[in-house]
Structure 1
Amino acid sequence: MRFNNLATRFKQRLTKNQDRRLLANIGWLTVGMMTNRVLRLLITIVVARTLSQADYGLIALIFTAHEMIGLFLQRCTSVKLIQAAENELPHLCEATSSLNWVLGASLFLIQCATGWLLSQAYQAPELFLPLCALGLTYLQLPTAMVQAALNFRAGKLRLMAKIDVGQTLVDTLGILALIVAGAGIWALVIPKIFTPLIWIIGNRRVCGWRPPAVWSFNGWRTIVSYSSSLLLIDAMQVLRQNADYLLIGYFLGVEALGLYFFAFNAGLGIATSFSTAISSALLPHLCESAEQQDILRARYRRGLKLTVILVGGLMLVQTSLAPFYVPVVFGQDWVERGSVELIVLLCLVALPKSLMDASSQYLRAEDRPDTDLQLQTVLTVLLLAGFGVAVTLGLKAVAVATVVCYYLFAAIVISRCLRLTRKATSVSGPHTKPETSLSSSNHTRPQLPAQANA
């Protein structure tokens, strides 16, 4: 009876227009991300069977460097536009557009210099030209970055999903054709130079904003000061997401790292895509109510409940079916190596990570990037300490430490955010629209890319 009442209440809430829109956005983003993951898997299989191990290593270096440098263009400019007040939006758009061009040109030069340094450090001259070629994307993206932010602000996530899938599909076809033609590592580089055109055209077609003829930097200090906190958060995420790999490879060896890498991706692959979609859809959902504290708090709490139901349900299904789908999909060899237990453990991370991401979006909607930064610092220290102790005990200990740290920290973050919502009830007066990040705080580990991230 109690279950029926809960189901009825949940169904009634979904009938609200705002919740239907949130679920629709989650659906579109999930479809896009799952399609991308399937195409990525196809490329990984073909590349692994076609290129040499040395080529595979060069590809990893090229795209790891490219993605790390590209992070600065994604975080440093458009972060103010989604939730800026309407009266601030015109001059912020102009300043953001000007900063995008300055930053894009700077990052192009930095990537060329990085390509030269890597080619010297690894004694691999073939690294230089591909990194220079990929740097050309930084000279393309500023033509539509403001439009993309405005589209995201308007909640056009269906458009984002379509553009994302279109980029990945064209990229995949281009890579496959060039591999057949014998282009080597350039088969993965050349399509990345052209696929941003799909993103540019798609965003500009549905957004009428155009930059002025003369550059303007009015408001640049506000944009950069807010983005600095996000950059520090991203830097810590990069450290968290790679520290366990580095420690396992150093202390336990490459074979152990391979098993852990497989288990992490098999355990969190689908769930991470789904949680990323929820977090991305939740961002504009919260931003719409930034001026109304009571609505913002209610939406955050509903977002937590929705995350528990959707991600938690998927997590339970995946963990219970792991002993059955792992031998069928990946082969009996992976079962004999002990991957199932690791997959089940690491899959449990999906729920607390999703709840943390939702809470991070709430803090940004509350104009509290400093609070988010403080909490992210605590998580980084907690995980590094856990990894440092557990790595000497084996892979299972590392997985257990990861699960414990994430659940403990998720409880801390949610408790902190709920206290903020209660404090907000005693504050009267209008609440100005805060700034927020253009994208969620999720990042994937370096992998063989199948799309041009913009």
Structure 2
Amino acid sequence: MLNQIVSQIIFVAFGIYLARILGPEAYGLVGMITVFSGFANLFVDFGFSSAIIYDPKLTQNKISSVFWLNLLIGVFIYIIFFFSSPLLAEFYNLEELEVLTKVVTISLIINSLSGVPNSLITKSIRFKNIIRASWISTIISYAVAFYLAFQGFGVWSLVFQTLILSVLNLIFVWKIASFKPSFYFSSKDIKSLISYGSGIAGTNLLGYLTRNLDNLLVGKFLGESSLGIYARSYSLMMLPLKNISSIFTKVLFPAFSKIQNQPDVIAFYYLKSTKTIALFSFPLMFGFFAVAEEFVLLFLGKDWVEAIAIIKMLSILGAVQSVLTLNGVIYNSLGKAITAFKVTLVLNLILIPSWLIGMKLNGLNGLVLAYLLVGTLGSIPILSIALRLINLTVIDQFKNLFYIIIGSLAIIISCSVFDLVFTFPMIYNLILKTIVGGFIFLLIIVPIEKEFLVEIYNMLLAKNTSKN
């Protein structure tokens, strides 16, 4: 949790200001490449990272075999990108993408080297050292990006920021994991992990398709400026997933894997975890909805005005997805990765056509509205199937989150009333609406969920006491 708080301070201090300097076009150009490179990166891993975490009989031979296979795939895919970069530039009709692609996709090789040691750290549930390393890497990479941006390097500022961040993380991960791969490879050791890893890979590939085909469609048909606006807005939507839900998924997956034969125990901690996630993510994202206009105009500038409506819609989707993301933890920890793949495939078969219809009817706004409606409603069956594995229902989850949902909706209502009654300069509007919305949320939640809040406080207090 501390890591995510510090990371977001860095993001607000550096990331948003960098976006203001470079504008939507620079982010759009990089986004056009990462749509493809990110998809390729899933093939480099192919679910082996999760398989390493899940495998109760992990051996050094398996670890070594996975490492060399990941590296081989990473180099092979980079070669493909290097020689096919002219085709990518031609696809988007942007000549500068050819050179950018050759440089950006170097990250595929870097990531192939860090996958195994990262998984070993996660399996042992050791996060403290890697968190400190992440802060150092992020600050250094942003410092380089700012220097290049002020020197007029434009989109290359983002490219080198990404590469430097990857290299520094690689160095730190190897050191923290004390990782020393042996010169050993066996296809037999790989086969023992493929059954589990293939299900993970399939689900990840479909999930990536869901999260990035929209970028491909926007970049191809609406241009780099629209893609930059959408990508930056989407990154805000991902805040609760990356900075709240990810805390739980990183810890719960290895933890639930150890008690995979106790579904009732998993159910107990699942409800506690999703309620804790919602307690933080729902007011955050509903608050973004309420102050979207002030946030965009003050921090990003007038060039990003089209992002206001996009952020509002994606903020609601982000709140919902922050809770639904733990579905994957249930499927994977219980060895049901193939089931997860099947249900995700069905959702994609519905979601992708809805994007095309929405974009055809109303451009970028139509695509995002379709994403909100189908992404939310279509996830309910997936949630239902996952919950049945741990003897729960969707109604159980709704009851679990009911008052947090009510309190979060009250944030939007109270801020809307504020806009009707008061007219202040924009900076004061942002501050006052944040205070009013937060106060209303606490006014509802504290009396009703007092016992749950005290439980969280006592848990944190007990943890700190044990450390002392």
Q: Same fold (TM over 0.5)?
A: yes
Give the structure with the larger helix fraction: 2
Give 1:288 shift: 4.2
In structure 2, C-alpha distance between the alignment counterparts of 1:123 and 1:237, rounded to whole Å: 27
Report deviation, 1:379.
1.7
- Map 1:170-209; keep pairs closer than 5 Å: 170-180=140-150, 186-190=156-160, 192-209=162-179
**Equivalence for 1:368:** 336
Residue matched to 1:9: none
SS, match of residue 348 in structure 1 = helix
Within a 5 Å distance, the mapping from 1:427-446 to structure 2 comes to none
In the alignment, structure 1 residue 401 sits paired with structure 2 residue 370: yes
- Picking from 31, 47, 55, the partner of 1:84 is 55
Alignment equivalent of 1:274, drawn from 243, 246, 250:
243
Instruction: Flag structure 2 segments of 5+ consecutive residues without an equivalent.
Output: 393-468
**Residue 124 and residue 98 in structure 1: after superposition, are their counterparts in 2 closer, same or farther (change >3 A)?**
same
Find the aligned partners of 2:227 and 2:99 in 1 and give their Cα distance: 30
Contact 2:324 2:379 in 1 (8 A): yes
The one-letter amino acid of 2:339's match is: T
Paired with 1:217 and 1:264, the residues of 2 have a C-alpha distance of: 43
- Report if aligned partners of 1:263, 1:343 keep a CA contact under 8 Å in 2: no
Residue 274 of structure 2 is matched in structure 1 by: 304
Q: Contact 1:81–1:89 at 8 Å: present in 2 too? A: no
- Residue 209 of structure 1 and its aligned partner are, at CA, apart by 4.3
Deviation, 1:332, is 7.5
Give the aligned residue type for 2:237.
L
Cα deviation per residue 1:61-93 (whole Å; 9 max; x = unaligned)?
4444433333322445323111210x3343321
* CA offset digits 1:409-447 (Å, max 9, x no partner): 333222212211129xxxxxxxxxxxxxxxxxxxxxxxx
**Following the alignment from structure 1 to structure 2, what is the Cα–Cα distance between the partners of residues 135 and 399?**
28
Amino acid at match of 2:203: I
The alpha-carbon deviation at position 321 of structure 1 amounts to 3.7
Question: Residues 37 and 225 from structure 1, CA distance in 2 versus in 1: closer, same or farther, beyond 3 angstroms?
Answer: farther
Identity %: 18
Q: Say whether 1:353 aligns with 2:321.
A: yes
What is the SS of the residue equivalent to 2:17? Answer: helix
* 1:364 to partner: Cα distance: 0.6
Contact 1:174 1:187 in 2 (8 A): yes
Instruction: Report the CA distance between 1:290 and its aligned residue.
Output: 3.0
**Match for 1:368: what amino acid?**
K
Report whether the alignment pairs 1:35 with 2:4: no
Q: Amino acid of the residue matched to residue 84 of structure 1?
A: D
Could you tell which deviates more after superposition, 395-404 or 343-352?
Answer: 395-404
CA distance in 1, matches of 2:160, 2:359: 39
Contact 1:263-1:346 at 8 Å conserved across structures: no
| TM-score, length basis structure 2 | 0.69
Contact 1:34 1:270 in 2 (8 A): no
Which has the higher mean CA deviation after the structures are superposed, 349-358 or 189-198? 189-198
AA partner of residue 362 (structure 1): I
| Offset, 1:138 | 4.3
Write the distance in 1 (CA, Å) between the matches of 2:346 and 2:29. 34
- Given that residues 107 and 166 in structure 2 are in contact (C-alpha distance below 8 angstroms), is that contact kept between their aligned partners in structure 1? yes
Question: For residues 411 and 195 of structure 1, do their structure 2 counterparts lie closer, same or farther at Cα, with a shift above 3 Å needed?
Answer: closer
Instruction: Give the structure 2 partner of residue 413 of structure 1.
Output: 382
Is residue 31–residue 161 contact of structure 1 (8 Å, CA) maintained in 2? Answer: no
1:44 is aligned, of 11, 16, 19, to: 19
Q: CA deviation at 1:408?
A: 2.0
TM-score (norm 1): 0.71
Q: Aligned in 2, Cα 1:316/1:182: closer, same or farther, shift over 3 Å?
A: closer
Distance 1:242 1:204, change over 3 A: closer
1:121-160 aligned within 5 A? 127-128=97-98, 130-160=100-130
Count of residue correspondences: 390
Deviation at 1:171, TM superposition (A): 1.7
Provide the alpha-carbon RMSD of the alignment: 3.8
Cα gap change, 1:392 to 1:256, in 2 (>3 Å): farther
8 Å CA contact retained: 1:171, 1:192: yes
Distance 1:397 1:158 in 2: 43
CA distance, structure 2, for counterparts of residue 119 and residue 250 of structure 1: 11
Give the Cα–Cα distance (whole angstroms) in 2 for the partners of residues 137 and 242 of structure 1. Answer: 18
User: Following TM superposition, by how much is the alpha carbon of 1:220 offset from its aligned partner in structure 2, in angstroms?
Assistant: 0.8
Q: Higher relative contact order by CA 8 Å / sep ≥ 6: 1 or 2?
A: 1
Contact persistence 1:266–1:343 (CA under 8 A): no
* Paired position in structure 2 for 1:261: 230
Out of 86, 102, 107, the residue aligned to residue 72 of structure 2 is 102
In structure 2, the partner of 1:66 is: 37
Aligned to 1:377: 345
| Distance of aligned partners of 1:203 and 1:129 in 2 relative to their CA distance in 1, 3 Å threshold | same
Shift of 1:225: 3.8
2: CA distance, partners of 1:104 / 1:259: 27
Tell me how far apart the structure 2 counterparts of residues 172 and 155 of structure 1 sit (CA, whole Å): 28
Q: Go from structure 1 to structure 2 and tell me whether the alpha carbon gap of 1:392 and 1:105 turns closer, same or farther (over 3 Å shift).
A: closer
CA contact (8 A) 2:28 2:224 kept: no
2:312 partner amino acid: V
**Contact 1:274/1:311, CA 8 A, preserved across alignment:** no
